Structure 1
Amino acid sequence: MKCAGLARRSCSQAYHAGFLDAIILYMTTLSLAEARANLSKLVEAAVTTQEVFEITRNGNRDAVLMSADEYDSLIETIDILGDEETMSQLRVALAQQKAGLSVAMDKETLLASVAARMPE
């Protein structure tokens, strides 16, 4: 296996942490034969470390192996980035935070605030 590094943070985690400028994922590249021979270990690594594996076939980059959670977070991020209303709300919230207009609260207070606004 040829290793270029490890993906240490899922895209969703990076997105929610405010790393909007660039997310660089490093992948271990391996042949289809290597992937086949080590599939169980690769799946375990993908699940436990969020490592992403690039699989080549006949020297061509043909597939990527990642955990289901990592895949779901990528799809969620794409959906968020593609929703103009959500992105507009995010830009407003970031501008408010930058201007000092945001209010800090702990998780319990936030959840109680959201629950109070939910219809019964």
Structure 2
Amino acid sequence: MHFNQILPCVLVSATAAVAQLIPVGPIATVYREPNFQGRHFSVGKVGECVQLPDNIVGKVSSVKLQQFPEPFYVACALYSNDYCQDPAASVIWYATALFTNAYLPDTSARSISCKLNQHLP
């Protein structure tokens, strides 16, 4: 069997495996109030910067992350400026499964970027 005959089968299998990890709902939800209360905004994009809407921007008090089967997890960076610019200087919070994220000490987030990560073996 030639490689070009096997390649479509490999691609279909890899695509099916990745599709199982794509969340059905939001990857993260940011809330205006602590403890996941009040107005909220759902982040549905992975690996892209998302600008927060006017009713949430500058007032993010908690973040709820989508749960994935081990070894995968979601991590989000919240930025104090628009469009996740100058990440080193503007990240105000890293939301990960290590924290409850029910109360953020700095509520000035204006944009967010989330990633799907994998724990190392």
TM over 0.5: no
The bucket for the TM-score relative to the shorter chain is under 0.3
TM-score (norm 1): 0.22
Structure with bigger RCO (C-alpha 8 Å, 6+ apart): 2
More helix by share: 1
More strand by share: 2
